[in-house]
């Protein structure tokens, strides 16, 4: 074999090894049921906030405790506990992405980067305003 062939084979082997190593770190969205089966492991959930349940947040008592309830698309529900203050505009959030661990029947988030709010569009209630802005662009 020529030296160029050996170099190309080594390069291909390095590229394959790099891709395989990244495959382990890719996260997929789980359901609440599958998160319960993977208790103690970090998972990512895409869920809807259950606004019918009360939100537990009392900054005078403990500013680093925030709890609320969520449900997934299959109807499973769970309580979520965060060890930080309530995010700004949490009440407006419809859906959220959570990254954390299921501990018993509670989904535990430890860091601020474990919650991502999906707020509704500012044009949701007024589709005519959205059309108007699109026509101006």
List phi, psi (to 5°) of 103: -125, 100
Listed residue (43, 39, 42, 47) closest to 94, CA to CA? 47
Q: The domain 28-121 belongs to what CATH superfamily?
A: Nucleic acid-binding proteins (2.40.50.140)
- How many residues in the chain? 137
Q: What are the tens digits of pLDDT across the range 42-92?
A: 888 889 888 888 889 888 888 889 899 999 888 889 999 998 888 888 888
**The pLDDT of residue 80:** 93
134 or 92, greater pLDDT: 92
What pLDDT was estimated at residue 11? 93
Q: pLDDT tens, 99-118?
A: 989 888 899 987 777 888 87
| Residue ranges per structural domain of the chain | 28-121
Dig out the tokens for 72 from the structure: 């997934």
Residue (of 78, 87, 135) closest to 112 by Cα position? 87
This model's pTM is above 0.85: no
Q: How far apart are CA 43 and CA 99, in angstroms?
A: 6
pLDDT score, position 111: 76
Per-residue pLDDT band for 134 (boundaries 50, 70, 90) equals: low
Alpha-carbon distance of 115 to 108, in angstroms, equals 11
Distance from CA of residue 38 to its chain's centroid? 16
Can you tell me the distance from the alpha carbon of 26 to that of 35, in angstroms, rounded to the nearest whole number? 16
| pLDDT score at 24 | 60
């Amino acid at each position: 074999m020529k030296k160029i062939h050996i170099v190309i084979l080594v390069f291909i082997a390095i590229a394959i090894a790099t891709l395989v190593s990244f495959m382990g770190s890719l996260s997929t969205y789980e359901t609440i049921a599958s998160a319960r089966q993977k208790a103690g492991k970090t998972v990512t959930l895409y869920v809807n906030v259950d606004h019918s349940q009360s939100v537990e947040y009392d900054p005078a008592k403990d500013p680093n405790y925030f709890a609320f309830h969520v449900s997934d698309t299959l109807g499973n529900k769970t309580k979520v506990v965060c060890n930080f203050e309530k995010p700004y505009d949490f009440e407006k959030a419809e859906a959220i992405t959570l990254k954390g661990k299921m501990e018993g029947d509670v989904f535990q988030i430890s860091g601020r980067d474990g919650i991502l709010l999906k707020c509704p569009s500012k044009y949701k209630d007024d589709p005519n305003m959205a059309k108007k802005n699109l026509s101006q662009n």
